[in-house]
Structure 1
Amino acid sequence: MKKLTTILMMSLTAGALLSGCGKNDSAQPAKPEATPAPVGVASKIVVGLDDNFPQMGFRDAQNQLVGFDIDLAREAAKRLGAEVEFKPIDWSAKEAELNGKRVDALWNGLTITEERKQNIGFTAPYMENRQIVVVVASSPIKTKADLAGKVVGVQDGSSAVDAVQKDAAAKSIKELKKFADNVTALMDLTTGRLDALVVDEVVGRYYTAKKPGEYLVLDENFGTEEYGVGTRKDDTELLARLQKAMDEMKQDGTAARISTQWFGKDIVK
């Protein structure tokens, strides 16, 4: 009997201990959940660009990315409290790079067109540009009409392609030859494999000024266009924040200062 009583007491004691442990565990406070990052706040903005497009975005003698658009983008990112990364891309595939989320913005002399608006969200225009015609100084070509039967070069994926194709002069051109970049096109122009080059004025003037007397810019051009910053159409938060930063830069004179550094005057729209 005594043995049975002892066993019973030991069982009750163990049960009480186990019950106490269970009660203490259930009283433990739940661990707080991690606070999510604020929605819409980007810590880094990846900018896609053609790194051979002076004076907008190109590489200097030290192979560093420099240019008007580079400085604008850096200043805008600073105001947004974000890091900026510049990613050279195939400019003819820029929309695929953007919508494939390999870049967040296109900021490199991007012309605003109705066609591009279908797939890209644009800021308000910040610069005007023309598509000029460059020939060698000895060329007999003096007007757009003289391009009849000639081989004309353009950068593939650039707005120069559309500008030429929409012009009446396009019907008489022998061939519209597309190049990966304008530097290669200018080389072909110099060697005679190309009769003329249609190019953004900011680029064409830069290269022709470096070799005075070698090239001639025609008085006629293929139209005026406007540059804007492009984002994915559904990325309205980034677009709005970039627009706000650009507006502030125009108002406080920062954009004008950067423009004067690169072009000698304020050409910001």
Structure 2
Amino acid sequence: MKKTLNIILILLFTALFSACSGNSDKKTADASSSKEAETISASVQSQEPVSAEDKKENPKETASSKNTETSQTENAPAAGIPEKLILGLDASFPPMGYTDENNNIVGVDIDLAKAVCEKLNIEFEAKPIDWASKEMELSTGKITVIWNGMTITEEREEAMEVSRPYIESQLVIAVKKGSDIKTKADLAGKVVAAQSDSSGLFAIQKDEIYPSIKDGTAKEYPDYLTALGDLDVGRCDALIIDSVLINFYMAQKDMNFDILEEKLNAESFGIAAIKGNKELINAIEGALSALAEEGKIAEISNRWFGKDDMIITY
């Protein structure tokens, strides 16, 4: 009996010791876990918190940032105005826009456009194009404006945004000196030339003499200078041309042409942008007015025409 009691006591003592030992291990683990949590918490808390004051914008940095943004806004073109003005032209139309002996594109329109771009704080590029494709070049975005002694017509005003007139001109009939063509009626049976898709071509096509000219149709040329060369050697008998161009060309080249007294049409030159972009046309007109007040327009006119009032100012 005593032996049995001893065995029972030993078993109870062992169970009690195991329980105490388990609790001790749990407390140790819990303490370790608690200590680890406290260490992590301390580590996080050791990072300096962002106070409400720190969250406020730094006045100096904010001012600098706003000044930069303001500067960029002031320098950026307004809505409808591109960062670069790509001017489409027939680069063989002196004095409006043409390629000189140094292969530079120069002329009245080039000087005007450069001055306007400087005023609007935008870049400038002159891009020679096929004049007959000018509206397609504009509509596809390859050029920004057509600015090259372009005659204002109702058709063009319907198809594009066109500026107010800036130069007055006339459509005249040029013939070789000594020609037997003295009046418009004398064009009957003659080879009459004009530039493709030009106001001169449209004018002769609408004229009553048109069905009487040779072959009942005008001989079309891609540019005026080629047509003038053919007129000089007799490949055509007459050329419908802008008075601004022929007068300048004759003065510069001393070529033997006569201008008939009978004119076809009076005309005005304008600047065209894609239909709907009134903002750009308004900006160009505004810049031209400002340049006129500064005397820049008179300077350009005098440089190219020898007169300071050949370019219309508003």
Same fold, TM exceeding 0.5?
A: yes
Residue number among 120, 130, 139 corresponding to 1:80 in the alignment = 120
**1:231 corresponds to which residue?**
273
Q: Which has the larger radius of gyration?
A: 2
Q: Which segment is superposed worse, 247-256 or 86-95?
A: 247-256
Is 2:239 aligned against 1:214? no
Shift of 1:233: 2.4
Deviates more, 1:106-115 or 1:182-191: 182-191
Q: Residues 19-38 of structure 1 correspond to what in structure 2 (within 5 A)?
A: 37=73, 38=76
Q: Tell me by how many angstroms 1:194 deviates.
A: 0.8
Change in 2 beyond 3 A, CA 1:210/1:5: closer
Asked whether 1:92 is paired with 2:137, we answer no
Higher relative contact order (CA 8 A, sep 6+): 1
Structure 1 or 2: more helix by fraction: 2
For the structure 1 residues 112 and 20, does the alpha-carbon distance in structure 2 shift closer, same or farther, using more than 3 Å as the test? farther
1:5 aligns with 2:48: no
Separation in 2, partners of 1:55, 1:223: 20
1:244 aligns to what?
A: 286
Aligned-pair distance for 1:82?
1.7
Task: Find out whether 1:106 has 2:131 as its counterpart.
Answer: no
Give how far 1:112 is off: 0.7
Distance in 1 (alpha carbons) for counterparts of 2:188 and 2:233: 20
Among 175, 191, 207, the alignment partner of 1:151 is 191
Residue 138 of structure 1, CA deviation: 2.6
In the TM superposition, residue 268 of structure 1 has moved relative to its aligned partner by 1.9
Q: Deviations over 1:77-116 (max 9, x none)?
A: 1111222111111111111111211111111101111100
Q: 1:194 is matched with which residue?
A: 236
Distance in 1, matches of 2:35 and 2:192, equals 101
Q: Report how far residue 17 of structure 1 moved.
A: 7.0
Aligned to 1:267: 310
One-letter amino acid of the counterpart of residue 158, structure 1: S
What CA distance in whole angstroms lies between the structure 2 residues aligned with 1:19 and 1:155? 82
Describe the SS at the equivalent of 1:168.
coil
2:88 matched to 1:48? yes
Contact 2:119 2:287 in 1 (8 A): yes
Aligned partner letter, 2:175: V
Tell me, which stretches of 5 or more residues in structure 2 are unaligned? 1-24
Quote the offset at 1:141 in angstroms: 0.9
Q: 1:39-86: per-residue Cα shift (whole Å, max 9, x none)?
A: 425432111111111011112221112111111111111111222111
Inter-partner Cα distance in structure 2 for 1:14 and 1:156 = 88
Question: Scaled by the length of structure 1, what TM-score is found?
Answer: 0.88
Q: Structure 2 CA distance, aligned partners of 1:256 and 1:166?
A: 36
**Deviation larger for 5-14 or 183-192:** 5-14
Q: Which residue of 2 aligns with 1:121?
A: 161
In structure 1, the partner of 2:100 is 60
Paired residue total: 268
Give, in angstroms, the shift of residue 213 of structure 1.
Answer: 6.3
1:254 aligned to which of 296, 305, 314 = 296
Q: What value does the CA root-mean-square deviation take over the aligned residues?
A: 2.9
Does structure 1 retain, via aligned residues, the 8 Å contact 2:156–2:162? no
TM-score, with structure 2 as normaliser:
0.76
Structure 1 5/258 Cα, relative in aligned 2: closer, same or farther at 3 Å?
A: same
